[in-house]
Amino acid sequence: MGEGDDTTGDGVGYDNGGRTDGAARRDDAVRAAVEQGLLGPDTPILGLLDVTGIRESAAELRAAFDAVTAPGTPVLHAFAVKATPLVPVLRLLREEGLGAEVASPGELALARAAGVPPRLTVLDSPAKTPAELREALALGIAVNADNAQELARIDGLMRSAHSGSPIGIRVNPQVGGGSIGATSTATATSKFGVALRYEGAREWVVQAYRERPWLTRLHAHTGSQGIPLSLMAQGVAEVFALAEEINGRLGRPQIDTLDIGGGLPVNFGSDESTPTYAQYARLLSEAVPGLFDGRYGLVTEFGRSLLAKHGTVVARVEYAKKAGGRPVAVTHAGVQVAARTVYVPGSWPLRIAAYDAKGRPKEGPPVVQDVAGPACLAGDLLAEARALPLLEQGDYAAALDTGAYYFAHHYAYNSLARPGIHGFAPDASGEVVFATVREAQRLDEIVAESGGAHAGALTTLRAPDRR
């Protein structure tokens, strides 16, 4: 712990100098959403996804690895569905040449609904049931076994049916954690994969491959937000060295594909997308040159770095008040769309942009204020003591860089409805066009999901009268 990554930063910069195209597109979209009536008094919150930006990030990812891999090397970029579990996003990424990394039956169902074919799908969940494994093997999707017990289950299934699924083992190189414990997957005691530095573990892994000619992949995901790039590269280097050792000791190139996971951190401090995929791919090609020489196919599993910068949650200021001398804007975005930030604000600060009632960037001197959410929870703050142009009633506050792990990850506190999500892009004349990604949740849906069909269920249960 404590090895902070200076590319992600702890604090949030308030400096919007160096405006990017993405920032300009976002401003246009907020204004157009107000003008076109998607946002207003009766629809006080929505999520926006910048389709142009998502396509650009996917293209940057492909180009970064193309630039360092030997020609003809198979490379699958499997988007980590948990980052943005929305079917239209998966379909868009599919169109951009990406696959899907799934970690639950729900995520697999989303990938299938988006039309991601089995050969572009990778299953990584830590707690796969026999039924999930059977389905995955029947579909032929790639599976990474998390541990010895799971491998034993796969043994049984492989005996009873032939499967075309590429199968690997997930290892934990135990290279250490980053600045955020919850996203550090390669600590000594991480719950993920086979811990490699545990006594006898390496031998066990080699033996597992020796006994199973169908084990052809090796997988590690060394961490997410807060992990320094150098530590990620070290994790990949360990996986590469292990694959070389296994193939060398077996005397055959049995491992033909390395899955290096995701985890490229996101810069939450400004509009710049740093570090870039190109930087990471270059670093890997220097640290682990053999990885790209064409002997191994590659799988990557990036999530947040593909989507975070392209999502914005915009919320109307319902009331503006003062508490203890500090202005507070009470908005419609809080813990239900930004659970991480509200509960762990030190690790997950978000930039906030202020817009006026017409959706135009708000001008004015910075005023230190709180940006609060709608929940009955004292800590329901998107930002505390933040210097911004003063937010007034009817204005809009936008939480930036929220395209991954935020508004797509609704938290049902106070039975607050899931907001609608719209994708946007300019048309030929430069006007912003929106497309519905997800409808806002309706009240009857909230009631139905909250046991509405079973209203009397508990009243039918009564312990016998003992008197």
Per DSSP, the three-state class of 101 is strand
The secondary structure of 30-63 as a DSSP string is HHHHHHTTSSBTTB-EEEEEEHHHHHHHHHHHHH
Q: Are the CB atoms for 434 and 32 separated by under 8 Å?
A: yes
Q: For residues 266 and 402, what is the distance between their CA atoms, to the nearest angstrom? A: 11
For residue 421, what are its two tokens?
A: 């999500």
The residues, ordered by sequence, that sit 6+ positions from 42 with a Cβ below 8 Å of its Cβ are none
Least distance to ligand PLP from the beta carbon of 159, Å? Answer: 27
Q: For residues 419 and 43, what is the distance between their CA atoms, to the nearest angstrom? A: 9
Q: Which residue is nearest to ligand PLP (CB)?
A: 303
Of the ranges 77-85, 174-182, 332-340, 380-388, which one interacts with ligand PLP (CB under 6 A)? 77-85
| Of 349 and 359, CB closest to ligand PLP | 349
Q: Which of 12, 34, 58, 83 binds ligand PLP (CB under 6 A)?
A: 83
Question: Mask: binding to ligand PLP, 97-126, rule CB under 6 A, as x and -?
Answer: ----x----------------------x--
Least distance to ligand PLP from the beta carbon of 452, Å? Answer: 33
For residue 327, what are its two tokens?
A: 């202005």
Q: Which of 302, 355, 396, 424 binds ligand PLP (CB under 6 A)?
A: 302
Of the ranges 7-15, 26-34, 76-84, 309-317, which one interacts with ligand PLP (CB under 6 A)? 76-84
For residue 456, what are its two tokens?
A: 């009397």
Paired with 353 in beta bridges are 398
Least distance to ligand PLP from the beta carbon of 138, Å? Answer: 22
CA nearest to 240, candidates 287, 179, 175 = 287
| Of 221 and 362, CB closest to ligand PLP | 221
| Of 183 and 331, CB closest to ligand PLP | 183
Q: Which of 179, 305, 336, 341 binds ligand PLP (CB under 6 A)?
A: 305
Tokens 């946007």 belong to 424
CA nearest to 295, candidates 255, 237, 261 = 255
Rule CB under 6 A: say whether 5 interacts with ligand PLP: no
Question: Mask: binding to ligand PLP, 206-245, rule CB under 6 A, as x and -?
Answer: ---------------x--x---------------------
| Of 238 and 301, CB closest to ligand PLP | 301
Residue ranges in 360-379 that form contacts with ligand PLP under rule CB under 6 A: none
| Of 166 and 374, CB closest to ligand PLP | 166
Rule CB under 6 A: say whether 39 interacts with ligand PLP: no
Q: For residues 145 and 156, what is the distance between their CA atoms, to the nearest angstrom? A: 13
The residues, ordered by sequence, that sit 6+ positions from 321 with a Cβ below 8 Å of its Cβ are 327, 328, 330
Cα atoms in the 13 Å half-sphere on the side-chain side of 295:
13
Q: Which of 53, 226, 263, 359 binds ligand PLP (CB under 6 A)?
A: 263
Rule CB under 6 A: say whether 275 interacts with ligand PLP: no
Q: For residues 395 and 316, what is the distance between their CA atoms, to the nearest angstrom? A: 6
Per DSSP, the three-state class of 329 is strand
Neighbours of 190 (CB within 10 A): 15
Size of the site for ligand PLP (CB under 6 A): 16
Of the ranges 6-14, 300-308, 324-332, 457-465, which one interacts with ligand PLP (CB under 6 A)? 300-308
Of the ranges 35-43, 173-181, 296-304, 331-339, which one interacts with ligand PLP (CB under 6 A)? 296-304
Residue ranges in 138-197 that form contacts with ligand PLP under rule CB under 6 A: none
Least distance to ligand PLP from the beta carbon of 83, Å? Answer: 4
The residues, ordered by sequence, that sit 6+ positions from 109 with a Cβ below 8 Å of its Cβ are none
| Of 411 and 413, CB closest to ligand PLP | 411
| Of 301 and 395, CB closest to ligand PLP | 301
Is 132 exposed, middle or buried, given 0-12, 13-18 or 19+ CB atoms closer than 10 A? middle
C-alpha triplet 133, 139, 141: angle, nearest 5°:
75
Q: Are the CB atoms for 330 and 374 separated by under 8 Å?
A: yes
Q: Which of 32, 58, 76, 80 binds ligand PLP (CB under 6 A)?
A: 80
Residues that bind ligand PLP (CB under 6 A): 80, 82-83, 101, 124, 221, 224, 261-264, 301-305
